[in-house]
Structure 1
């Protein structure tokens, strides 16, 4: 693997590449120009040309490429120049710039919770929203436990446009994505050139090289190649290389005189990225008006429990054999993908469009989660009884007794940690989308027709290898493991480990998954254009099967015990922790059921003038539940069949409508929406299942104005959301769903001069509740990012970028529903201030 990293870095350091355009645009451009003939994919295959004029052509989750003002779907885009200048630290931070998209971007480069317009985040990931690359899903299900889709995505110089469709036709032109689709569209070489960039943190340790290049091999053949490599602590100091790895992507396209094309593409990603889970923070004041304060020696927005002295753990693997796992691997995606796109003209105006991709996906997810935090002596006595003693178990003081526990780490605290350690053995998927589209005259108008078939197979093979340890609460990568002994000096822990299991979660969660899900879906659309009126309707019929098996004592006593005595370190001595070794039972529970459901969407768009349009749309889409149903009350563990057939699919019903305006460098879009959502889910951190309905209504606004060197893009979404029904916890009915703010917004002013560009990116949210009981609030916050770019010579750009310039605490998640005794909660915050600089050379 090291050889691959060196080869990738060498390739990027040596390749010549071009400059990006300097204009930054987070909404569609103001031209109606369609994609040029040399950009064959832009019309109907989910890709797009590199001509800026094509940005106003909607290509994601629609039947055929459509001008934004002629479409009854809500769409926004971010172009490559915006991505470069704003320099978001993660893909999640980038997506916060899309109106209507709520992103809890506090988990690092992956593991973000993403939702659309009031749709819930009952657990994690992006359940109702699909992340795509070039029109096909990264994963069939966006909320696979510890395998969220964004973990396997990296936005780099290969990206031409990020396009989002909220609601609407996402229900019928993609499976399992009724809330929307976000599509990362790659450059394909129509624009000759590329760029080479080196960048690094000025106040944090991360160094990165980006490169891309594209162009023509002949009049009919284009290509593009690009990637990145990086290394460092990441945004928070941890004392080791917590981010290291990179990506390389390439494609080649052959176009034909009849408008057809064929494209081959590939991707290899091998990147380790630290995953930030909730950390301790003190809360004062009241539940309704709290103040979140850093603990002495530990900052909630700049520190993490990761540490250089806590790098690996001893546990059992999926075959119950001893293995040493590395915490430094963090979120570790390994993806090797190859794909094909082609458009085949079959008659005048009729085309077959085929997209296929196979992705070999594996890796892991490893990060510490504090099950509880308390005073050091109290934690010690809870484990070792009255008068228990504490000793350092790692670091330079290893073996020494802690004489004054109340001063330990500068705050006198210890964290009982459960290490979320998951071996992602296979998330392989294969997807295929084939469609026939065209149009015929009908009276004074035109009838467009699309029919197609989608098929995919998604593997979910993973082993949960959780273990536990006790550590100090210190920032700067200085935390250490701590051993506990009884008052008589008898060891209770071994190298900080009280049990080789999820001891602080009741020894749960030693699991094995070996599942596969097959999805098939015929779909069809009719669209009628009658002068200024566009009508369209579409249907999608999904039918699927879930097969495989799971193992784990969480299934019940009939499936075996999960705790054994084991000499896990092989020294011939059984210690107290070695009497609590988690094992995966040999008896497995089958999974065996089929499901089917119908989705539909219908819309109307009325072009009032060349610059103004009105639209309305109603949709119903489904989302098949996947691995989160297992180990729960909806599956019969003996047969693998559904106990409740309705548990297989959750439906989202949406009504939306609004007005669009674009003329003279000004664009304004306003959409009112209503949604009713079914939700059955499981959350790993709380071990809770959900079975409820939600309702949300609100307004989404988006606009852009450009005048000379000045431009301003802005968006905001107001949402009134309620829990309408809860089978398992009726007490929360009528409450606002947790972490759902009433208003989120983004504003990006920018000035573009001859040699200097500068601007800001302002992201904000109003307050929300930490949990569904609606007691403890998470305060609203505004994050201000800024950038300045200087071009000392042609094709050379120096950029300084500041993220969260005012170092605000932006609390996105709190485990507790009310302020506990002692005032310490476990929360995730956006990262504090980070400053980076980049030198880009264009060719």
Structure 2
């Protein structure tokens, strides 16, 4: 009740404040200049494109040109410029985490926020241990990014109650193209981008573009970690009353996996001091090294596999689809279809536990002699008191996740018609959505012993007892670290939906409803499923004729004893809102929504699924529910726009979450909670002559309202949830040059749900300069994290550890890129 009262208290404030709608962003889809006081049509997550001042939704848009200008190189750097969206981008270019308006972020990916490409989801579930951003790359093909927060997003897409972010491609309606070459000035990356669009005839047009890049990247890894690119093509045929468009994409791109790294923490939980350990810079260094590359294991069929950690996060996407729209008997029919063949690999080197060598070895392994197993010092003895100047060792997991198939097929068919009824217009929409999502992956983990050293020099370490017995082999401690799984499951989703919207004079009243019913069917393999399933056997992995100590317990998959997956779920989503356009530049709105998010791969190895029958333990376990309310005002005039929205959200969630135990090791456990959040969101733009600024900020007051497994954390703030997130982009643009900054940041938050250890906030300043010395030629310079700030996105420990060492993820340090572009 307290939350409702606070929300209602925001309402009069919102109605008394000049309203907002980012004009510079709204013009995105039309490529109009900022400040244009005209109709601004928004099409994502709604029944029919309409002027944003006539719609009871919270929406934003970014032009592709603006994204290029600020130097956003990945999905995370794009999304952090949209108000309301919280971004945790410490993993590198891909596999980052996103949420919106205080909705929980218990795991990686984007559980409640759907990422789309040209109106269809990239993955049906955005947090399948592989985030949807791994399959998306912003480049010169990008025309605009549209975002809808809450509202009708829950009824015009499945599994998207928090909102939809739609990456919209160019389609050749603007003739011409560009070639751009870029290089890092203080880091190793070379990149080539191109795009071109044109008409083939009066009724046929096309657009093609892509990129290729290579290099070590912004952190020290000691090898070529970035390699690959993408190619996209679409062809549009226009006809009387409509069009049909064919779209294709090929993505084959490899990026490094930046895992949490050791950091020293002193002071108190409420006022901690974070600093680098000796010889390791958390903004420049990683766990990766050319001396830690080999992964020897058994594959998903229990055959010997030797893999390479340098594969990193490797995505391969081959997709084909079409989009068509035409009129029949007064109805406008729209159909979108896409099939994506998705495969790849995630190889990561993660420190599971870090400690002082002199303490760690006697505790984990019997005391003995340490020697380097790999690297230039292989065979040399290690002094545990002085190793690398920091005396640290890490129990580290080599994670090899084979993405055999994440194939995805989606089709969204809808029909809309407008009816003149009385003095108003009724818009009706009916549609049907169909999707299949494959999850065929193998988790192949091995654990080794690593030193902690920067400059890409880390190596594996061997342990030998005083009696000469080798407890490790080539730095490997065990071939059975506890996680060895295989998934072979398909999810089928069906969803009929519909909406009504009646507009009479200045008032628009609308509602929409969606019914999702889905089926999950397949098998999972893993010894943790119990029932006598064997998890390890002695096996001569390296085929040297000797069963070494690590080979005594080699993890195997119980292929003859699968766990059954055979469940379904169903839920109803609905949304209703009213919009009142008080005057030409001013509108107010209110909306209430209920949406769902279906169970996916994260529940498959938990007690939520009965692996004998394949059923869920309860009907409620098949989906999570998000309830939301919002009230707001929008104001738009020439060269000025403003929006203020108050929101409330209630989320019921079943999930798995990784946390650090008191000894520093990581564990994965089930959570069953209810969250509540209330807040306010600001977004605005202003332009005067050559100067313009866009800005946004979100205030969120969130809490764990109920936890059925750990009542001690009820009323606590969810981990990583700050009170404020903010962004601003002031710039000065003339015919000859453009210069500006892009500022993003957050206030502090708690490292874990226990609400003990604080994680500091940050403000990151990015800068950009563009110079156009002659027509069609542009030189650019962009600096990310210009002042080289340490920006924490994740801290593993819940409180300051006894040894003062924990692990953390931070944003990259300063990187400077220059580019040369030719337009034609």
Q: Does TM, normalized by the shorter one, top 0.5? A: yes
Alignment-derived partner of residue 605 in structure 1: 579
Query: 3-state DSSP class of the match of 1:686?
Result: strand
- Aligned mates of 1:119, 1:832 — CA distance in 2: 28
- Aligned mates of 1:526, 1:384 — CA distance in 2: 67
Classify 1:67/1:480 alpha carbon distance in 2 versus 1 (closer, same or farther; 3 Å). Answer: same
> Shift in Å at residue 683 of structure 1?
2.7
Query: 3-state DSSP class of the match of 1:560?
Result: coil
What's the CA shift string for 1:131-163, capped at 9, x where partnerless?
Answer: 000000000000102x11111111111110011
> Shift in Å at residue 215 of structure 1?
1.2
Preserved contact between residue 290 and residue 456 of structure 2 (Cα < 8 Å): yes
* TM-score when normalising by structure 1: 0.93
Task: Report whether the alignment pairs 1:722 with 2:703.
Answer: yes
Alignment-derived partner of residue 655 in structure 2: 681
- Aligned mates of 1:176, 1:537 — CA distance in 2: 18
What's the CA shift string for 1:722-753, capped at 9, x where partnerless?
Answer: 10110111110000000000000001100002
- Aligned mates of 1:63, 1:603 — CA distance in 2: 13
> Shift in Å at residue 56 of structure 1?
2.6
Preserved contact between residue 559 and residue 585 of structure 1 (Cα < 8 Å): no
> Shift in Å at residue 406 of structure 1?
2.2
Alignment-derived partner of residue 819 in structure 2: 838
Task: Report whether the alignment pairs 1:785 with 2:785.
Answer: no
Classify 1:55/1:612 alpha carbon distance in 2 versus 1 (closer, same or farther; 3 Å). Answer: closer
Correspondent of 1:189 among 172, 179, 188: 172
> Shift in Å at residue 90 of structure 1?
2.3
Query: 3-state DSSP class of the match of 1:218?
Result: coil
Task: Report whether the alignment pairs 1:362 with 2:346.
Answer: no
Correspondent of 1:392 among 365, 368, 372: 372
Task: Report whether the alignment pairs 1:580 with 2:553.
Answer: yes
> Shift in Å at residue 32 of structure 1?
9.2
> Shift in Å at residue 50 of structure 1?
5.5
Preserved contact between residue 265 and residue 339 of structure 1 (Cα < 8 Å): yes
Correspondent of 1:211 among 161, 171, 194: 194
Correspondent of 1:493 among 472, 475, 479: 472
Correspondent of 1:438 among 401, 404, 417: 417
- Aligned mates of 1:673, 1:367 — CA distance in 2: 38
Query: 3-state DSSP class of the match of 1:93?
Result: helix
Correspondent of 1:198 among 158, 175, 181: 181
- Aligned mates of 2:104, 2:703 — CA distance in 1: 10
Correspondent of 2:484 among 486, 510, 513: 510
Q: After superposition, where does 1:705-720 map in structure 2 within 5 Å?
A: 705-720=686-701
Q: After superposition, where does 1:338-377 map in structure 2 within 5 Å?
A: 338-348=320-330, 350-377=331-358
Preserved contact between residue 371 and residue 380 of structure 2 (Cα < 8 Å): yes
Task: Report whether the alignment pairs 1:773 with 2:757.
Answer: no
Classify 1:384/1:735 alpha carbon distance in 2 versus 1 (closer, same or farther; 3 Å). Answer: closer
Preserved contact between residue 21 and residue 634 of structure 2 (Cα < 8 Å): no
Classify 1:229/1:31 alpha carbon distance in 2 versus 1 (closer, same or farther; 3 Å). Answer: closer
Task: Report whether the alignment pairs 1:324 with 2:306.
Answer: yes
Alignment-derived partner of residue 734 in structure 2: 753
> Shift in Å at residue 257 of structure 1?
2.7
Alignment-derived partner of residue 84 in structure 1: 68
Preserved contact between residue 770 and residue 777 of structure 1 (Cα < 8 Å): yes
- Aligned mates of 1:218, 1:55 — CA distance in 2: 30
Alignment-derived partner of residue 290 in structure 1: 272
What's the CA shift string for 1:585-627, capped at 9, x where partnerless?
Answer: 1210111111111100001111111101001100000000111
Task: Report whether the alignment pairs 1:299 with 2:272.
Answer: no
> Shift in Å at residue 401 of structure 1?
1.5
> Shift in Å at residue 51 of structure 1?
6.2
Task: Report whether the alignment pairs 1:408 with 2:391.
Answer: no
Task: Report whether the alignment pairs 1:229 with 2:223.
Answer: no
Correspondent of 1:536 among 510, 519, 524: 510
Higher relative contact order (CA 8 A, sep 6+): 2
Alignment-derived partner of residue 521 in structure 2: 547
Task: Report whether the alignment pairs 1:276 with 2:258.
Answer: yes
Preserved contact between residue 591 and residue 639 of structure 1 (Cα < 8 Å): yes
Query: 3-state DSSP class of the match of 1:498?
Result: strand
- Aligned mates of 2:21, 2:476 — CA distance in 1: 52
Alignment-derived partner of residue 113 in structure 1: 97
Alignment-derived partner of residue 619 in structure 1: 593
> Shift in Å at residue 27 of structure 1?
6.9
- Aligned mates of 1:651, 1:201 — CA distance in 2: 45
Query: 3-state DSSP class of the match of 1:122?
Result: coil
Query: 3-state DSSP class of the match of 1:233?
Result: strand
Preserved contact between residue 25 and residue 62 of structure 2 (Cα < 8 Å): no
- Aligned mates of 2:135, 2:325 — CA distance in 1: 27
* TM-score when normalising by structure 2: 0.95
Query: 3-state DSSP class of the match of 1:575?
Result: coil
- Aligned mates of 1:705, 1:94 — CA distance in 2: 20
What's the CA shift string for 1:672-730, capped at 9, x where partnerless?
Answer: 00000011001355211110000000000000001100001100000000101101111
Alignment-derived partner of residue 45 in structure 1: none
Preserved contact between residue 414 and residue 429 of structure 2 (Cα < 8 Å): yes
- Aligned mates of 1:121, 1:466 — CA distance in 2: 25
Alignment-derived partner of residue 94 in structure 1: 78
Correspondent of 1:378 among 338, 347, 359: 359
Preserved contact between residue 30 and residue 56 of structure 1 (Cα < 8 Å): no
Task: Report whether the alignment pairs 1:667 with 2:641.
Answer: yes
Alignment-derived partner of residue 538 in structure 2: 565
Preserved contact between residue 27 and residue 77 of structure 1 (Cα < 8 Å): no
Task: Report whether the alignment pairs 1:797 with 2:778.
Answer: yes
Moved more, 465-474 or 180-189: 465-474
- Aligned mates of 2:32, 2:697 — CA distance in 1: 28
Classify 1:710/1:205 alpha carbon distance in 2 versus 1 (closer, same or farther; 3 Å). Answer: same
Query: 3-state DSSP class of the match of 2:472?
Result: coil
What's the CA shift string for 1:229-253, capped at 9, x where partnerless?
Answer: 1111111010101110100000000
> Shift in Å at residue 347 of structure 1?
2.5
What's the CA shift string for 1:396-432, capped at 9, x where partnerless?
Answer: 1111212x32221221111110122210110001000
> Shift in Å at residue 486 of structure 1?
1.0
RMSD across aligned positions (CA): 1.5
> Shift in Å at residue 490 of structure 1?
1.7
What's the CA shift string for 1:303-350, capped at 9, x where partnerless?
Answer: 1010011122111100111111111111111100000100021034x2
Alignment-derived partner of residue 42 in structure 1: none
- Aligned mates of 2:335, 2:289 — CA distance in 1: 48
Correspondent of 2:136 among 153, 156, 176: 153
- Aligned mates of 1:406, 1:721 — CA distance in 2: 45
- Aligned mates of 2:677, 2:595 — CA distance in 1: 16
> Shift in Å at residue 571 of structure 1?
0.8
Query: 3-state DSSP class of the match of 2:65?
Result: helix
Preserved contact between residue 704 and residue 711 of structure 1 (Cα < 8 Å): yes
Correspondent of 2:88 among 104, 122, 127: 104
- Aligned mates of 1:335, 1:619 — CA distance in 2: 34
> Shift in Å at residue 379 of structure 1?
2.8
Query: 3-state DSSP class of the match of 1:264?
Result: strand
Preserved contact between residue 231 and residue 241 of structure 1 (Cα < 8 Å): yes
**Structure 2 residues without counterparts, runs of 5 or longer:** 1-19, 659-665
Aligned residues: 794
